[in-house]
């Protein structure tokens, strides 16, 4: 009987060790040289109180991924935000990137913008992309499709998450409360099929002349092997 008890304890111990989670390692992409809006700015069309001031900054974990959130974001333009750029080039990486994680969303498209509205965007509409450039001059495209990888950062009750992404953070601001909505950011993850090739830069672009959707990126993390 004693031998049985000892064996049982040993089995439990081994099972516990086998189930221990593997620590994930993240490196952070510095977006600050390319940011063009502050989290505290009145975003979108500039309505008062339309900000991300309540988003936690510093090293923060959202939906299982650790990001380093700074005080700004990269905002791309659209048919609505004509003053913002169509593309931001030269986001420096300078290392291998086995997996990339994006903390992002888009302005306009959903939430209080219903079908039939000029500011509504249908699911499966391409609204932008991340171009990953490698040191051998090859490149890969990570598409941004509305309803798949992001939705409007404004959302109303019952509005689903993107089909191929996760809701990473939820909150409110003064403007969202005025229109009966909340705000949120999304996590899109991408596994690099060329994990051992050095990534030089990322280009972030929208479809400024084609859609009202105005993508923005708050943070990018690299998950190491």
Q: Give the DSSP H/E element, type plus range, for residue 14.
A: helix 2-18
Q: How far apart are the first and last CA of the chain?
A: 45
* 13 pLDDT more than 50: no
CA angle 163, 35, 71 (to 5 degrees): 90
Give the range among 15-24, 39-48, 50-59 with minimum mean pLDDT. 15-24
Give the model's confidence band at 18: pLDDT under 50 very low, under 70 low, under 90 confident, else very high: low
How far apart are the C-alpha atoms of 69 and 188, rounded to whole Å? 16
pTM of the predicted protein model: 0.90
Average pLDDT over residues 194-206: 98
How far apart are the C-alpha atoms of 51 and 81, rounded to whole Å? 16
Which structural domains are found in the chain, ordered by start? 25-223 (2.60.120)
* 120 pLDDT more than 60: yes
SS3 10: helix
Task: Provide the Cα torsion 94, 99, 100, 101; round to 10°.
Answer: -150
pLDDT at 14: 39
pLDDT at 219: 98
């Amino acid at each position: 009987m004693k031998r049985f008890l000892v064996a049982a304890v040993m089995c439990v111990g081994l099972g516990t060790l086998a189930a221990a989670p593997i620590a994930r390692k993240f490196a952070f992409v510095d977006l600050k040289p390319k940011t063009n809006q502050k989290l505290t700015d009145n975003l979108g069309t500039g309505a008062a109180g339309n900000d991300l001031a309540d988003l936690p900054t510093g090293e923060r974990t959202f939906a299982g991924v650790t990001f380093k959130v700074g005080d700004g974001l990269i905002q791309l333009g659209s048919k609505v935000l004509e003053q913002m750029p169509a593309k931001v080039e030269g986001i420096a990486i300078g290392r291998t990137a086995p997996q990339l994680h994006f903390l992002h969303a888009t302005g306009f498209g959903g939430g209080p913008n219903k079908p039939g509205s000029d500011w509504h965007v249908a699911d499966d509409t391409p609204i932008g992309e991340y171009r990953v450039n490698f040191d051998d001059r090859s490149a890969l495209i990570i598409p941004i499709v509305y309803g798949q990888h992001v939705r409007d950062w404004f959302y109303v009750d019952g509005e689903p998450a993107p089909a191929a992404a996760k809701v990473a953070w939820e909150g409110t601001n003064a403007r969202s409360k005025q229109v009966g909505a909340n705000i949120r950011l999304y996590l899109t993850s991408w596994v690099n099929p060329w994990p051992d090739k050095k990534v030089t830069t990322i280009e972030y672009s929208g479809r400024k002349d084609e859609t009202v959707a105005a993508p923005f990126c708050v943070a990018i993390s690299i998950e190491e092997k």
